[in-house]
Amino acid sequence: MREVAVVGVGMTQFGMSEKTQIEMFSEAAMDAITESNIEPRDIQALFLGNGLGDFEEGQMNLAPMCAADIGMSNVPATRFEGACASATVAMRNAYLWVASGFYDIVLVGGTEKAMAMGTPMATRTFAMGSDSRYEGFAGITFPGAFGMAVHLYSKKYGIPLQKLKEQMAMVAVKNHKNGVLNPKAQFRKEITVEKVLSGIVIADPLQLLDCCPFSDGAAALVFASVDKAKELTKKPIYIAGVGQGSAGPLYTQKDFTRIKARETAVKQSYMQAGVGPKDIDVCELHDCFTIAEILATEGLGFFEFGKGSQAVEEGKTSLNGEIPINPSGGLKAKGHPIGATGAAQAYEIVKQLREECGERQVKGAKIGMIDTLGGDLATVCNMIFRR
Amino acid sequence: MREVAVVGVGMTQFGMSEKTQIEMFSEAAMDAITESNIEPRDIQALFLGNGLGDFEEGQMNLAPMCAADIGMSNVPATRFEGACASATVAMRNAYLWVASGFYDIVLVGGTEKAMAMGTPMATRTFAMGSDSRYEGFAGITFPGAFGMAVHLYSKKYGIPLQKLKEQMAMVAVKNHKNGVLNPKAQFRKEITVEKVLSGIVIADPLQLLDCCPFSDGAAALVFASVDKAKELTKKPIYIAGVGQGSAGPLYTQKDFTRIKARETAVKQSYMQAGVGPKDIDVCELHDCFTIAEILATEGLGFFEFGKGSQAVEEGKTSLNGEIPINPSGGLKAKGHPIGATGAAQAYEIVKQLREECGERQVKGAKIGMIDTLGGDLATVCNMIFRR
């Protein structure tokens, strides 16, 4: 296996877009291609993440359409779907095609138009990511599942619910604060703990501002073999490790304050990269709900199990904390275009490791990580990047 | 890159099923696993093809659910969607994960429940595989696209339409004849040229029996590294070459009697396998419509462009012809469960190369090929297998 590096990145503004999924992807991809000092004809394959383009725009088999739209017809173009982790799964596969020596330069990313159908319908539609036989049928949605996780976490670790809700609110406050510093973020407005705690209840005890939005958006990256990367850019960012894990429906999971798919995935990522949680300088992770960020910081090993909510309160995950989490604003403030999210996380980490993040720059970041969750804790995929 | 072999295969009966997509996949997978002399815990990853499980059963993120259902939770489980070519795309990726040395034993396959919504609704729903911005919007469906291809073929090669329709009918007659010999086929009844030509018109000039059915079904294969394969089975079937190509929407394609995505893909497959069309002893290819089989036999190089329809008439593609095409009955008679089709093609070729096909056995077949088409000629993926 040879080393693989990111040589260019691109990302649309997140939020509501008038463009189609294909057009949004083209915008992000052309930025990534331009930054890579290549042309579309230099690219040997496309790896695309997308969640529900068929429901959103009546478009199945999206990958060849995206490839054609940027003038790279005929190359293998493949769509990956792992619910919200779609783009990260696509990136892990793209990594292997280059690492194995099969391709030298590939394009990877994701796109999604999740906003137009409106939040209530999107919530019901994306609930198809949970098991349809027993759980979806019984009415479970993602806010419902993560609401249960809050109660379980509170009980398991003896943290009073009101206390936990305040700590969760601090996740939202932090991520909105970071989002203000990100010109591509959907929400660029600070909020307060009081505001979070006075929001309408979505799925008890989750309130409105505990939840990320559904967004439109796309992000893209160009991966190249180490030799090509050195020719193309002065700032290659290397992929040091990749991991992916799965789990069955929620009813088969013993304890969903511990996300087995993540613990499986991250073991692979750390082992391949030869690093541990203490070595990670910056991390973009899956804060679809505030509790999800807390669970992820524990699952990735940054904090002991049961100590994640306290760590937020102590500022350990802030921009200047010991392990800055979601400097981009995360799904919470930057926005969450399902199938594009993983690629947007990678966009941020690459920018951080190149020290191109301006006011939200994590100083001296050398090793960064992304972690993306799909479905009812069913798919987790993560990647470690280094300068 | 090391050699990769198929060590076990499984497939459900095709047709109408009372099982869910997950349950059908489990049935096929457990047969493949049993035949491989392994247990689910020996499998390191799952690669799954599926077209529109979300529309059919409200199930997104299908791969981890399938993995969990057969007791292989936690391993990376990934869904691939390339319309009707979904499973072949999944197999091509699975191949690389083993060939590169990353995994030793993986499970791959596809599943689809395309029949329950009924043919009219399925036709409209699967039309999402065409470009949604201009073509789907204008009402194009797959029968419509292939109906146009018939007219183009007739004009381009100066074959009178009535003559061409008779030759197309011979494709249907041949595939139904083969289907009678396949216990897992959906249609096991011979038909005649007269019967095809008296069928209702679906999309001029395609008539009912020019079209394959929508089916329920699943198929699965276990891939292993060459060393593992030799331990596990006395009849390993090696993957000699893989290829994938794409194309944009129909309106960007100059001549769709020549499928550019296929020509791109098959060049890769032949080059990697070090063989040419003359070396292929048996082929399962994408006869979604009778004209599609004719176009595929030309695109794969078995016959000159414009000579494919005549070749059928001359019996060259029959079970005892110079290049037997679709001995399983093909999509036409065996059935077409969209996301499972490529895996079912591979199932047949593996069985043929092992000489386990009874009355439909192609005698002495040593090298076999599959070719799968997805969307409006937008994705083609093919693979070459050898004893």
**Which positions ≥6 away from A350 have C-beta within 8 Å?**
A6, A9, A221, A237, A368, A385
**Which positions ≥6 away from A287 have C-beta within 8 Å?**
A171, A175, A212, A293, A296, A325, A326, A330, A331, A332
Mean residue pLDDT across chain A: 96
d(CA A348, CA A352): 6
- Test A247 with B60 for CB contact under 8 angstroms: no
Number of H helices, E strands in chain B: 14, 11
- Test B379 with A77 for CB contact under 8 angstroms: yes
Measured at the CA of B138, the angle between CA B137 and CA B143, to 5 degrees, comes to 105
Q: Using a CB-CB distance cutoff of 8 angstroms, which residues of chain A are in contact with residue B81?
A: 60-61, 79-81
Complex prediction ipTM: 0.97
Q: Using a CB-CB distance cutoff of 8 angstroms, which residues of chain A are in contact with residue B133?
A: 20, 22
- Of the residues B60, B100, B124, B130, the best mutation for testing chain A's interface (the one with the most A CB atoms within 10 Å of its CB) is B60
Query: What's the pLDDT at B117?
Result: 87
The SS3 assignment for B110 reads strand
The SS3 assignment for B76 reads coil
Q: Using a CB-CB distance cutoff of 8 angstroms, which residues of chain A are in contact with residue B60?
A: 51-52, 81, 83, 126, 128-129, 375
Whether the Cβ atoms of residue B219 and residue B10 lie closer than 8 Å to each other: yes
Query: What's the pLDDT at A26?
Result: 98
The SS3 assignment for B50 reads coil
Q: Which one-letter DSSP state was computed for residue B338?
A: G
Pick from B325, B257, B241: which is nearest to B287 by CA?
A: B325
**Which positions ≥6 away from A275 have C-beta within 8 Å?**
A240, A241, A367, A384
Identify the closest residue of chain A to B376 by CA–CA distance. A61
Per-residue confidence at B8, pLDDT binned at 50, 70, 90? very high
CA distances B110 to A85, A172, B244, B340, Å, are: 20, 40, 17, 4
Amino acid at A301: G
Q: Using a CB-CB distance cutoff of 8 angstroms, which residues of chain B are in contact with residue A78?
A: 80, 82, 89, 93, 244
Instruction: Using CB atoms, pick whichever of B52, B80, B246 lies closest to residue A54.
Output: B52
Residues B36-64, mean pLDDT to the nearest whole number: 96
- Answer whether residue B73 shows pLDDT above 90: no
Half-sphere exposure of B97 (CA within 13 A, CB side): 26
pLDDT < 70 regions, chain A: none
Instruction: Using CB atoms, pick whichever of A57, A81, A100 lies closest to residue B79.
Output: A81
- Test A246 with B76 for CB contact under 8 angstroms: yes
B57–chain A Cβ distance below 8 A for any pair = yes
* Beta-ladder partners of B108: B47, B221
Identify the closest residue of chain A to B126 by CA–CA distance. A60
B198-243 per-position pLDDT tens digit: 999 999 999 999 999 999 999 999 999 999 999 999 999 999 999 9
Per-residue confidence at B350, pLDDT binned at 50, 70, 90? very high
Per-residue confidence at B254, pLDDT binned at 50, 70, 90? confident
Per-residue confidence at B137, pLDDT binned at 50, 70, 90? confident
Mean residue pLDDT across chain B: 96
CA distances B257 to B213, B251, B304, B311, B351, Å, are: 22, 13, 12, 16, 31
Q: Which one-letter DSSP state was computed for residue B222?
A: E
Q: Among residues 233-292 of chain A, which lie with CB inside 8 Å of chain B?
A: 244-249, 252, 260-261, 264-265
